[in-house]
Amino acid sequence: MIELCSVSKYYTSGFFKQKQTYAVRDVSFSIRKGDTLGLVGESGSGKSTIGRMALRLTEPSAGRIVFDGIDLLAQKKPALREIRPRMQIVFQDPDTALDPRFPIGESVAEPLAVWHRAFRHEREDRVAALFEMVGLQPELAGRRPFELSGGQKQRAAIARAIALEPEFLVLDEPTAALDLSVQAQILSLIQVLKKRMNLTILFISHNLAVVERMSDSLAVLHKGVLVESGRTAEVLEHPQDLFTRQLVDAANGSYPFFRNRIISVNE
């Protein structure tokens, strides 16, 4: 479905732009249709840059990105515009992703209006259907983002992202700003939507435990370089790279009460 071939992003600086600072270096991976790839790494490792490049929201400095057989980087603006609705992104912070002046119902309806996917009178029904899909009460449509909780805002951001029925979704730390019980709600929502819409997902997170549950395959990023990738269970059980091993140990160390023991939820 989507393939990145030795994609790099560097920023130039200095006299005659001689100095190159690499944010992402030679990253290659591919995601099959209907699969989820988890991209993990520390802050500043280039995860978000890769997510944005996969949609060509950030222009890569080098490399090739192929989406459903189409070379994304070779496309001119009008052609790219035709592809855009097939790929969407949900950002980490729903506060900055939603326009604070718009009621969330309008934010969700906006892509439908821009792409003429629904007549004005149909739009309301479509928005209501989308609200139901992401588990938002219909009466919240008139509320502005500041009147909603973090989880509700993230649901609205997801509704907006799936409004055009995309095939490929980039989720950039969708639950980093949320509480544990709300995180669980949003993650299970994502899994339901993935099945229902046969979504291909690039799931970006710093939390290995979250990625473990969410993704079929895993790519580990360290300082802009992909240090390890493979099927999730394999990578986690037999990490080859030192950095991956440290991450796995850290995750195990943080939640020792879940390892080697099934918690008894009902005594």
When asked if residue 11 is in the footprint of another protein (CB under 8 A), the reply is: no
Instruction: Determine if 1 is a binding residue for another protein (CB under 8 A).
Output: no
Q: How far is the CB of 16 from another protein (least distance, A)?
A: 29
Q: Which is nearer to another protein, 14 or 256 (CB)?
A: 256
Strands (E), 50-174: 62-67, 70-71, 87-90, 168-172
Residues 176-235 that bind another protein (CB under 8 A): 179-185, 187-188, 206-210, 212-213
8 vs 152, which CB is nearer to another protein?
152
Q: Residue 75: exposed, middle, or buried by beta-carbon count in 10 A (0-12, 13-18, 19+)?
A: middle
CB–CB of 244/238 below 8 Å? no
Give strand ranges (E) for 68-160: 70-71, 87-90
Minimum CB–partner distance for residue 8 and another protein (Å) = 23
Q: Which of 67, 77, 65 is nearest to 167 (CA)?
A: 67
Residue nearer to another protein on the CB measure, 12 or 96:
96
Please tell me whether residue 177 adopts helix, strand or coil conformation.
Answer: coil
Piece of the chain touching another protein by CB under 8 A; list 63-71, 117-125, 234-242, 253-261: 253-261
Q: How many CB atoms lie within 10 A of CB 80?
A: 15
Residue with smaller CB distance to another protein, 45 or 229: 45
Centroid of chain to Cα 267: 37
- The amino acid that residue 220 corresponds to is V
Q: By CB under 8 A, how many residues form the interface with another protein? A: 40
Residue type, 140: L
Nearer to another protein, 65 or 171 (CB): 171
**Contact map string, positions 134 to 163, toward another protein, x by CB under 8 A:** ---------------xxxx-----------
Stretch that binds another protein, among 7-15, 90-98, 159-167, 256-264 (CB under 8 A): 256-264
Instruction: Select from 9-17, 20-28, 59-67, 252-260 the region that touches another protein (CB under 8 A).
Output: 252-260
9, 195, 164: which is closest to 84 by C-alpha?
Answer: 164
Whole-angstrom distance, CA of residue 120 vs CA of residue 161: 19
Interacting residues with another protein (CB under 8 A): 42-43, 149-152, 179-185, 187-188, 206-210, 212-213, 246-247, 249-251, 253-259, 261, 263-267
